Amino acid sequence: MAAFEHDLVIIGAGPGGYVAAIRAAQLGLDTACVEKVPELGGTCLRVGCIPSKALLEASERYVEAKSGLKRLGIRVGKVELDLKAMMKHKERTVKTLTQGVAALFEGNGIKRYFGHARIDGPGRVVVEGEEAAEISAKHILIATGSVAAPLPGVELDGDRIGTSTEALSYPEVPEHLAVIGAGVIGVELGSVWSRLGSRVTVLEYLDHILLGFDREVSRQAQRIFKKQGLDFHLSVRVTGARVEGDQCVVEAEGREPLRCDRVLVCVGRKPYTEGLGLESVNLEPDPQGRIPVDRWFRTAAPGVYAIGDVVAGPMLAHKAEEEGIACVEHLVTGHGHVNYDAIPNVVYTHPEIASVGKTEEELREAGVEYKSGSFPFLANGRARAMAQTDGQVKILADAETDRVLGFHILGPRAGDLIAEAAVSVEFGASSEDIARAVHAHPTLAEVVKEAALAVDGRAIHL
């Protein structure tokens, strides 16, 4: 087995791992990264964020071509779905980006190892597989991400009953798709297959969809998704799912069994630390399976760090990226910081949903006095011109200082509009600051300005 030595070895080449590797190389560290699959980019790039967005965009264009352009005075001929071509678009997108990460590794002089990484005591990582290797490193950074969480009683077969990985590659449009879980993945992939012709039934354990989002926004979103064809059943405890003949059967407490063609299980994700060798450096995950770290991402084992989905906090690619950068910058310069209040979250449905900062529920629970201002896209000229008027922008600000505490957007291009909100929260802006800033006319961003004005009860166009 070949032996190698580096300053830093990173386990996992997902968004957190590969971004940390690039920044470490920029800072002068001899950096290596171990990834167990041939393609770089992790779950997000290969079977998560990127392929799902490719299908969301394509399916949205399909629906527009079928019926959504008539209101703009555009009529087209017969529109047909070519699912194979749509899947090829998804695959091309993924391939291009994974190759891009590989080029970044090469350009930054990052050594890549292919295989399963196992920590084998302080400062030592063993790579198991075809390219077996022993690596010595002063610093080890764990960025192994997460995997889909199982649901007791549900028999995953990797085909008819599967996770988001399978739902990104169905060979045909299911006549009836059951989605277990109404979180981000559930509503996004449920929307994709509904647009393409499936009857979609969403079963959710909670009494509302989109856990963690502002409740007012999630209620509005549910009403819109229902009009689009998603059938939600809330407060449902699924007890089992199995393949029976040519159908799937989903069982739930106190309900008749649901028969369908495919089942998508998306009830959350769990940190992935299987076979990582944490015991060799006396590390033990917490009850949720996460690796405890301090504010600089140091674990209890000297020289071992962890970021991303394997540590506490939202399981978001951009959160992992920022943690990776902060971790290696602190390692080299002594400085590194992530403001967790300024991490945005986006749901790429139509309309999009985006948020940053606190929800009203969180502020009330914490006893924080706040003011709220909202403004609908219905009253915005650009949204009217686009014929996309569903939703609103809501801003929450401290009742005494006016500092912005939370932004919540349901509407067209919310995922882009949330960037202004994230910067505002990062720099401690007040709603008055946002209201005084000039926003170009006519743009969707004017809704943000009007919502900021509404915090003080002085919206202009409402």
Q: Tell me the pLDDT tens digit for each residue of 255-313.
A: 999 999 999 999 999 999 999 999 999 999 999 999 999 999 999 999 999 999 999 99
C-alpha dihedral sign at 12, 17, 23, 29: negative
Residue 67 structure tokens = 């019926």
Q: Is residue 10 a contact partner of residue 33, using CB atoms and an 8 Å limit?
A: yes
- Given a cut of 90, whether residue 2 has pLDDT beyond it is no
Active site residue 6: no
d(CA 236, CA 165): 24
- Given a cut of 90, whether residue 56 has pLDDT beyond it is yes
Residue 242 structure tokens = 């199995």
C-alpha dihedral sign at 453, 458, 461, 462: positive
Q: Which of 176, 318, 441, 461 is catalytic?
A: 441
3-state helix, strand, coil in the chain (%, to 5): 35, 25, 40
Q: Tell me the pLDDT tens digit for each residue of 307-355.
A: 999 999 999 999 999 999 999 999 999 999 999 999 999 999 999 999 9
Q: Which amino acid is at 305?
A: Y
Q: Which amino acid is at 241?
A: A
Q: How many helices (H) and strands (E) does the chain have?
A: 13, 22
What string of DSSP letters covers 445-458?
THHHHHHHHHHTT-
Q: Give the long-range contacts of residues 96-105, CB within 8 A, separation 24 or more.
A: 97/41, 97/45, 97/50, 98/39, 98/40, 98/41, 98/45, 98/46, 101/13, 101/18, 101/40, 101/41, 101/45, 102/40, 104/18, 104/22, 105/18, 105/21, 105/22, 105/33, 105/40
pLDDT value at residue 130: 84
Which stretches of 234-301 are assigned E, i.e. beta strand? 238-244, 247-252, 258-260, 262-265, 269-271
In terms of pTM, does the model score above 0.85?
A: yes
Structure letter (DSSP) for residue 298? B
Q: Which whole number is the average pLDDT over 350-367?
A: 98
Q: Which whole number is the average pLDDT over 212-235?
A: 98
Q: Which whole number is the average pLDDT over 37-66?
A: 97
Q: Which whole number is the average pLDDT over 439-458?
A: 98
Domains of the chain with bracketed CATH: 2-147+271-338 (3.50.50.60), 161-267 (3.50.50.60), 343-455 (3.30.390.30)
Q: Is residue 418 a contact partner of residue 451, using CB atoms and an 8 Å limit?
A: no
Q: Which whole number is the average pLDDT over 71-75?
A: 91
Mean pLDDT, rounded, of the chain? 97
pLDDT value at residue 230: 98
pLDDT value at residue 419: 98
pLDDT value at residue 71: 87
31-35 vs 2-11, strand pairing mode: parallel
| pLDDT tier for residue 1 given thresholds of 50, 70 and 90 | confident
Q: Is residue 351 a contact partner of residue 391, using CB atoms and an 8 Å limit?
A: yes
Residue 62 structure tokens = 């399909």
Q: Tell me the pLDDT tens digit for each residue of 78-123.
A: 999 999 999 999 999 999 999 999 999 999 999 999 999 999 999 9
| pLDDT tier for residue 15 given thresholds of 50, 70 and 90 | very high
Q: Which whole number is the average pLDDT over 141-163?
A: 96
